[in-house]
Amino acid sequence: MSNPTTDHRSGRLLTPTLLLLIALAGFGPLLAQFFYNLWQYDTYQFFPLALAGSVLLAWRGLGEVDRPLHPGSLWVRLPLVLAVLVVLTAASILWSPWLGAASFLMALLTTAWWFGGWRLVKSIFPAWLVLLSVLPPPLKLDARFALLLQEWATTGSSQVLGLLGIPHLLTGTIIEIPGQRLLVEEACSGINSVLFMTSACVFYAMWQRRSFFFLVTLYALTIVCVLAGNLVRITSCAWFLFHLQIDLFTGWKHEALGLVLTATYLGFIVLMDAILSKLLSRGNFLLSKSEIKKNTEPLLDGFFYQGSLRFVTVLLVILGALQLVRGWDFHFRQEGARRVSRAWMDGSAKFTLPPEIDGWRLVSETKPMPKRAAFEDGIFSHIWQFQKGATLATISFDYPFFGYHDVTVCYRAAGWVIADTKLQPSSTRNAMIPCMQVVMQREGGLKADLLYSTVDETGSWLEDSGKRSAYDSEGDALADGGLGERITHRLRKLPYANEAYDEAINYRIQILAAARGGLSRAQRVELEDLFRQARTLIADQFITPSATPTPTPRAIPNYEPIPNSATDSTTKAIEEAKKSALETRDSSSDATQKAIQRAIRDAQESPTPNATPVR
């Protein structure tokens, strides 16, 4: 059977440039959004280097493949093309950049088979592997892997610190040494180094023309090296802090240490490659240099743009146009529905709470400090502490988060055991704002009550049951459980995948109070009332009533009382907060500093155990 792409009777000559233009027409919009989203995470910001490495490998591989090319079997090509078109169609309709990137990777191998069969597939496979290293696994499996690395890093570091004779206490992912509490976060768990170094390992092994068995061996050794290096980093930093009071966990010293470790890992890859090449040189584990030859003939010589290729091109152009429409529609919906300005959420501490709310007295305030995480964008936390009698409550406003973030995962990592969770649905009593109520406990009989509510940039509160909620009617997280449950949850969301709020940025308000033996019923009622009022006060400062917000630098906007719950004392406190916000422009004045220090001393003398909120 003759191949229509090699029929000389009609059609124009096919060139790599034309193929590239066809690919951009069919995959360009989704790929652009995919890489934009990928850049939002520190963990994957190495992808430009991976793309450059992939181009180098592809250039070399295509230059060495034997000419002329012979197309692969038609019976293999047809199902491959059909699979690519089906996945790309789903990605275009649902506006799923991840599916678009996956379909592009499928298309690369399909195109190689179409024009050059198995020989061309093998020539581009090294470049394809490097590209695959920047595609995040589905269902946020990389985030789960980061949590496992956190647990491994803290447990291993604790054992090494014990061998070094450094007194410490391990609680979840927190290591406490005398005078210091060291939190091993996602970004410090080693996940950044693991992903970057494994991608570098794939590139170097493929550049050295190693076999697949060789690559797997070097890949495994690289992961072991990075995990061991991360363990050494945590324990050595703790040792320097304990014995020499030198802090290597923050600042330029931390960054310099990271660069040293990166250079060490790269050197390890090169060294182990040399050692393994000597050990495995007797087998067919690397390609002989005598088998390599350069070809200067045009790669697609003899192929013409006609027949089935034209038909596929038309389909790709249609899908590309659909992506442009869907992307524009998605962006338009997102902008039109947005009630929170991202530009205003820069951590510049524009938010405030009154000095007193229903008998709760503000005793301390912590302004937001930048903080990077591996898989969430939540980098700012504005914290207030209120006291009423013997109860000390901590209110935290955490933002922004790319996708919903279940805060109980962080509390578990901090050593808390979740005893009970309960969904409080929206009602007139709580101003139609739902929340999750969590009871936690830890060693020593300490129990805590946690309440939190999450709102997205469209002004929708997410804890309530419904299609946008992360929980069912019983308060169980829909994304938890095994692989089957998480896949089922994703399938349930497919009918709403084209709605703007699926990719909305989220903001969370939480309150935490702890006591030996737990809070009494009366204390819980007071805590819930404080949360309802403080939550509305904070939300009114960044959620605008209009569809296109234009926030101005103000401390507290106009406040409308909570239906059926705003008391006279609350209204008075709100008015005092407005007055204070307008009159006090320099928050660092001597009088303010003295008041804060006095409030902190009062809080420290309180008999109530202090519990710190986590993100």
Give 327-348 as a DSSP string.
Answer: HHHHHHHHHHH--S-GGG-SSS
User: What is residue 190's predicted lDDT score, i.e. its pLDDT?
Assistant: 67
Q: How many CA atoms lie within 13 A of 598 on its CB side?
A: 7
Q: Is residue 558 part of a domain?
A: yes
CA distances from residue 610 to 348, 385, 512 in whole angstroms, order as listed: 26, 10, 10
Same domain, 323 and 384: no
Same domain, 329 and 364: no
Q: What is the pLDDT of residues 166-207, one digit of tens each?
A: 888 777 667 878 777 676 654 455 678 888 999 999 999 999
> Cβ–Cβ contacts within 10 Å for residue 49, how many?
15
Say whether the peptide bond before residue 178 is cis (omega within 30 degrees of 0). no
Same domain, 333 and 351: no
The pair of structure tokens assigned to 558 is 């106009």
Q: Domain boundary at 287, 319, 337, which?
A: 337
Query: What letter does residue 286 receive in the DSSP assignment?
Result: B
Query: What letter does residue 480 receive in the DSSP assignment?
Result: -
**H/E element holding 77?**
helix 74-94
**Percent of residues, the chain, with pLDDT higher than 70:** 74
How does strand 304-305 pair with strand 180-183? Answer: unpaired
Measured distance CA(110)–CA(100) in Å, rounded: 15
Measured distance CA(543)–CA(550) in Å, rounded: 10
User: What is residue 605's predicted lDDT score, i.e. its pLDDT?
Assistant: 46
Q: Domain boundary at 235, 263, 279, which?
A: 279
Same domain, 415 and 523: yes
- Is residue 445 packed enough to be buried (19+ CB in 10 Å), middle (13-18) or exposed (0-12)? exposed
The pair of structure tokens assigned to 466 is 């419904």
Alpha helices in 174-298 (DSSP H): 191-207, 212-244, 251-279
User: What is residue 610's predicted lDDT score, i.e. its pLDDT?
Assistant: 56
DSSP-derived 3-state class of residue 103: helix
Nearest to 151 by CA among 366, 520, 413, 338: 413
Q: Exposure string (b/e) for 373-394, b if CB count within 10 Å is 16 or more?
A: bbbbbbbbbbbbbbbbeebbbb
Q: Is residue 615 part of a domain?
A: no
Same domain, 111 and 207: no
Q: What is the pLDDT of residues 363-388, one digit of tens each?
A: 999 888 766 554 455 578 899 999 99
Q: Is residue 481 part of a domain?
A: yes
Same domain, 494 and 593: yes
Handedness of CA 179, 185, 189, 193 (dihedral sign): negative
Same domain, 130 and 144: no
Same domain, 324 and 428: no
The region, left, alpha or beta by phi > 0 then psi within -120 to 50, assigned to residue 45 is alpha
Q: Which residues pair with 392 in a beta bridge?
A: 387
Q: What is the four-CA torsion angle of 271, 276, 282, 284, rounded to 10 degrees? A: -110
Same domain, 248 and 316: no
Q: Is residue 610 part of a domain?
A: no
Say whether the peptide bond before residue 68 is cis (omega within 30 degrees of 0). yes
User: What is residue 300's predicted lDDT score, i.e. its pLDDT?
Assistant: 81
Main-chain dihedrals φ then ψ at residue 418, nearest 5 degrees? -75, 115
**H/E element holding 176?**
strand 174-177
Q: Exposure string (b/e) for 232-265, b if CB count within 10 Å is 16 or more?
A: ebbbebbbebbeeeeebbeeeeeeeeeeebbeeb
User: What is residue 439's predicted lDDT score, i.e. its pLDDT?
Assistant: 93
Measured distance CA(533)–CA(539) in Å, rounded: 10
Query: Which regions of 90-168 does DSSP assign to beta strands (E)?
Result: none
Q: Domain boundary at 260, 279, 298, which?
A: 279
The region, left, alpha or beta by phi > 0 then psi within -120 to 50, assigned to residue 195 is alpha
Same domain, 167 and 99: no
User: What is residue 478's predicted lDDT score, i.e. its pLDDT?
Assistant: 53
Q: Is residue 284 part of a domain?
A: no
How does strand 446-456 pair with strand 435-442? Answer: antiparallel
Q: Any idea what the Cα angle at residue 450 is, between residues 609 and 412, rounded to 5°? A: 85
The pair of structure tokens assigned to 282 is 């007797």
Measured distance CA(260)–CA(250) in Å, rounded: 15
Q: Is residue 290 part of a domain?
A: no
DSSP-derived 3-state class of residue 380: strand
**Order of strands across the sheet with 505-516?**
356-357, 360-366, 380-388, 391-402, 505-516, 446-456, 435-442, 417-424
How does strand 380-388 pair with strand 356-357? Answer: unpaired
Measured distance CA(275)–CA(281) in Å, rounded: 10
Measured distance CA(166)–CA(160) in Å, rounded: 9
User: What is residue 282's predicted lDDT score, i.e. its pLDDT?
Assistant: 54
- Is residue 347 packed enough to be buried (19+ CB in 10 Å), middle (13-18) or exposed (0-12)? middle
Same domain, 99 and 116: yes
Query: Block means of pLDDT (10 residues each) for the chain, length 615 residues?
Result: 49 84 94 90 88 94 87 92 95 90 96 92 94 87 77 84 84 74 59 88 93 91 91 86 82 84 93 89 51 70 84 94 89 76 81 93 86 58 92 92 80 84 84 89 88 89 67 54 58 55 77 91 93 93 64 38 38 46 39 42 46 66
User: For residue 164, what are the domain limits?
Assistant: 140-279
Identity of the residue numbered 18: L
Q: Is residue 289 part of a domain?
A: no
Main-chain dihedrals φ then ψ at residue 341, nearest 5 degrees? -85, 120
Please count the structural domains in the chain: 3
Same domain, 382 and 521: yes
User: What is residue 186's predicted lDDT score, i.e. its pLDDT?
Assistant: 47
Measured distance CA(464)–CA(29) in Å, rounded: 34
Q: Is residue 474 part of a domain?
A: yes
Q: What is the pLDDT of residues 61-114, one digit of tens each?
A: 988 888 888 898 999 999 999 999 999 999 998 888 999 999 999 999 999 999
Handedness of CA 15, 18, 23, 29 (dihedral sign): positive
